[in-house]
Amino acid sequence: MKACNSCGKCCIKYSNGALSASDADIELWESLRPDIYRYVRDDKIWMDPETGNQIELCPWLRKEPNQTSFNCAIYFDRPEDCRVYPALVSDMINDECEMLEPKDFADTRKAQDVLDTKFRDS
Ligand code: SF4
Ligand code: SF4
């Protein structure tokens, strides 16, 4: 299994209403990051601060014109769901995560062990 190459697929796939923030995330943003808290409504992210509607693409996903990879503009304060991804090889396969190598597809149980031991909490 390779390191994340910041391809952005997970951010793009999940930012349209499929991401959750923890209560602790929301409390922190409310007190220290009002710029992020603006995008929370009824504990949901990412909501348009003006209309209150769900935003289609995470407002913190950044890509410079000359870059092939993406950056997270709130990386150190990103929500819990973003911090824990990827947790399951099955999700990574569905999401076409670019961390996966052919050997990971050949032995998904071993790939999950590698993910659990090497990448989680890193
Ligand atoms: S907050 Fe950061 S890590 Fe989470 S979806 Fe947005 S850009 Fe990706
Ligand atoms: S899909 Fe995988 S390789 Fe791409 S940014 Fe997400 S974790 Fe990284």
Amino acid at position 47, single letter: M
- pLDDT for 67: 87
pTM score of the predicted model? 0.91
- pLDDT for 118: 75
Q: Is the CB of 98 under 6 A from ligand 2?
A: yes
Q: How would you classify residue 32: left for phi > 0, otherwise alpha for psi between -120 and 50, otherwise beta?
A: alpha
| Burial readout 42-72 (b: 16 or more C-beta within 10 A, e: otherwise) | eeebbbeeeeeeebeebbbbeeeeeeeebeb
- pLDDT for 94: 97
Q: Which residue has the higher pLDDT, 122 or 64?
A: 64
pLDDT in tens, 26-65: 999 999 999 999 999 999 999 999 999 999 999 999 998 8
Q: Which of 1, 2, 4, 85 to mutate to test the pocket of ligand 2 (most atoms within 8 A of CB)?
A: 4
Name residue, tokens 């410079």.
Answer: 64
pLDDT in tens, 79-106: 999 999 999 999 999 999 999 999 999 9
Q: Which of 22, 58, 85 to mutate to test the pocket of ligand 1 (most atoms within 8 A of CB)?
A: 58
Q: Which residue has the higher pLDDT, 74 or 17?
A: 74
- pLDDT for 122: 57
Using the predicted structure, report yes or no on whether residue 70 has a pLDDT greater than 80.
Answer: yes
Q: What is the distance in A from the centroid of ligand 2 to the CA of 10?
A: 6
